[in-house]
């Protein structure tokens, strides 16, 4: 069908095309890196019964990290403190940031809160969140008639 | 929530250089602080995920090079569902201006942060020239 475009609708059409292209790329490469909406960036690993959330938090101590799990959300809070500099120190370069941070991640299922495990090693936090038993899909055996 | 602007999320990837890497993993430039006191130069570097024995530090002439190798393997049996950061090696070099006492270089590694203490050589410390005002 032939449609006439006013100049405005051409832009709308281009926006639509852009969205369509983004969607296509997402479908073909779902492992494409997303931009983290806050600090820290998180990776989520999944198998059938649990998810593992990892985050890089260099320079923090395990006691500086606060984790909260509520049903289907994981909240990570913490603070990275600046180095204590000796008197008279002069910076040549300062690239490492510091400050308070908090991020909440929505999980794909209800979590068994008592079985959540977290480790912190070499500045990498790893949280294992098992799926709650009542939330697991019921397996149905197929009988041969 | 208060969050400093410097706490950026994305890691910077190394640009291809003249020499090629033999490992296939990605390589990042670690974020670093460098500061100087009267007696030493301190380099602080974020290299999360690296084991202590996977860090190489070398000082050739006045070029300090730090190489850290990281296994990009994820948890066993899990597939990556959602990714916001990538894991890889780290490499960075600094050209040091002052003479460094090579035998007294100290390195500490804790919670993904490498701290290098490079003491200035005695003659470099002495080399300060006082300007007298007449």
* 3-class secondary structure per residue, B80-96: EEECCCCCCEEEEEEEC
**Cβ separation of B37 and A91 shorter than 8 Å?**
no
pLDDT at B16 over 70: no
**Cβ separation of A96 and B1 shorter than 8 Å?**
no
Q: How many domains does chain B have?
A: 1
The DSSP call for residue A25 is H
Asked whether the beta carbons of A39 and B31 are under 8 A apart, the reply is no
Provide the domain limits for residue B39.
27-71+87-126
Q: Quick one: pLDDT at residue B4?
A: 44
Q: Quick one: pLDDT at residue B73?
A: 82
**Residue B4 resides in a domain:** no
Dist. CA B89–CA B67, nearest whole Å? 8
Q: Is the dihedral of CA A8, A10, A15, A19 positive or negative?
A: positive
**Residues paired with residue A73 on neighbouring β-strands, in sequence order:** A70, A106
Q: Tokens in use for A109?
A: 């299922």
**Cβ separation of B86 and A33 shorter than 8 Å?**
yes
Q: What is the pLDDT of residues A46-93, one digit of tens each?
A: 888 889 999 999 999 989 999 999 878 999 999 998 888 888 888 988
Best mutation site among A36, A49, A74, A92 for testing chain B: the one with the most B CBs within 10 Å?
A92
**Residue B109 resides in a domain:** yes
**Residue B66 resides in a domain:** yes
How crowded is residue B14: how many other Cβ atoms within 10 Å of its Cβ? 15
**Residue B5 resides in a domain:** no
Domain boundaries, chain A: 37-81+99-135
Dist. CA A59–CA B14, nearest whole Å? 22
CATH number of the domain encompassing residue B57:
2.60.40.790
Q: Quick one: pLDDT at residue B6?
A: 42
Q: Quick one: pLDDT at residue B3?
A: 43
**Cβ separation of A31 and B80 shorter than 8 Å?**
yes
| Average pLDDT, integer, range B2-16 | 54
**Residue B133 resides in a domain:** no
Overall residue count recorded for chain B in this entry: 134
CATH architecture for segment(s) A37-81+99-135:
Sandwich (2.60)
**Residue B77 resides in a domain:** no
ipTM: 0.77
Strands lying side by side in the sheet with B106-110: A90-94, B32-36, B40-46, B113-119, B106-110
Dist. CA A126–CA B3, nearest whole Å? 22
Q: With beta carbons under 8 A apart, name residues in chain B contacting A38.
A: 1, 3, 9
**Residue B80 resides in a domain:** no
């Amino acid at each position: 069908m032939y449609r006439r475009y006013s100049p405005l609708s051409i832009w709308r059409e281009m926006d639509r095309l852009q969205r369509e292209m983004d969607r296509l790329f997402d479908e073909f490469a779902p492992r494409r890196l997303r931009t983290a909406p806050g600090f820290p960036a998180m990776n989520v690993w999944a198998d059938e019964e649990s998810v593992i959330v990892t985050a890089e938090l260099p320079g923090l101590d395990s006691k500086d990290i606060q984790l909260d799990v509520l049903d289907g959300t994981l909240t990570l809070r913490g603070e990275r403190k600046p180095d204590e500099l000796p008197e008279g120190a002069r910076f040549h370069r300062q690239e490492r940031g510091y400050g308070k941070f908090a991020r909440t991640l929505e999980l794909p299922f209800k979590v068994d809160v008592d079985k959540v495990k977290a480790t912190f090693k070499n500045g990498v936090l790893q949280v294992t969140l098992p799926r709650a038993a009542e939330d697991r899909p019921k397996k149905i055996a197929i009988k041969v008639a | 929530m208060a969050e400093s602007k410097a706490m950026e999320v994305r890691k910077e990837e190394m640009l291809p250089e003249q020499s090629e890497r033999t490992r296939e993993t990605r390589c990042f430039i670690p974020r670093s602080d460098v500061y100087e006191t009267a007696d030493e130069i301190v380099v602080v570097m974020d290299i999360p995920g690296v084991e202590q024995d996977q860090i190489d530090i070398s000082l050739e002439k006045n070029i300090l090079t730090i190489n850290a190798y990281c296994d990009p393997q994820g948890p066993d049996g899990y597939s990556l569902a959602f990714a916001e950061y990538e894991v890889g090696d780290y490499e960075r070099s600094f050209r040091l201006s002052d003479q460094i006492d090579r035998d007294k270089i100290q390195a500490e590694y804790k919670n993904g942060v490498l701290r290098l203490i490079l003491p200035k050589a005695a003659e470099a410390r002495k080399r300060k020239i006082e300007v007298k005002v007449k």
